[in-house]
Chain A
Amino acid sequence: GAGVSQSPSNKVTEKGKDVELRCDPISGHTALYWYRQSLGQGLEFLIYFQGNSAPDKSGLPSDRFSAERTGGSVSTLTIQRTQQEDSAVYLCASSSSNGPYEQYFGPGTRLTVT
């Protein structure tokens, strides 16, 4: 079946602009996660959705970052007033609500802030 999809695959934006990143999880997966991976850094958790609710937003680095999920499916991560330090690969993952909860990743969006 189809895996996690993300769009766009690459995004170049100017400092100060807003960007939206989209994630479409595996069909039937109720849990959705956003991570980011910076050059030389490990995978960093950003936010977790269960259905349309976000029980854990602890990884969002600042109030410039927000995310929503609608219809228990597609999620959008929005970064306002982008900064150069926001440049990273943003990865989305999804998992089933029934065990064993392993997370499957999408191809990622490479964000470059110039």
Chain B
Amino acid sequence: QKEVEQNSGPLSVPEGAIASLNCTYSDRGSQSFFWYRQYSGKSPELIMFIYSNGDKEDGRFTAQLNKASQYVSLLIRDSQPSDSATYLCAGGRGSNTGKLIFGQGTTLQVKP
């Protein structure tokens, strides 16, 4: 079992729709979670991080964390073709203690 699991997709949504990206993790010691966006041939770009149970909103993005269910999600509202990319979920043990464990990523396609 991988420590951080994501559905590889592709997830295809029409322009303007809500895209829902999901991630589960196995390490109950994980305290902090990060969503990165990676365009083809580019390095990962941080979109959001979340440490506490519940929702965290930033513009069109909402991250959700449920530690009891070991589940993290990212919602993208009003999806645009420019959102088409691979989205990486990562978990860490919190504080400045080092490595992040990444999922394999979900490919999102937003169709005009």
Contacts and interface: CB of A to CB of B under 8 A. Distances in A.
Interface residues of B, number: 24
A101 B104 contact: no
A42 B102 contact: yes
Interface in B81-112: 88, 90, 92, 94-96, 98-105
Contact of A33 (B45, B46, B98): B98
Nearest to B49: A102
A45 B98 CA distance: 10
A82 B45 CA distance: 29
Interface of B: 32, 34, 36, 42-46, 49, 51, 88, 90, 92, 94-96, 98-105
Contact of A42 (B34, B99, B103): B103
B101 A102 contact: no
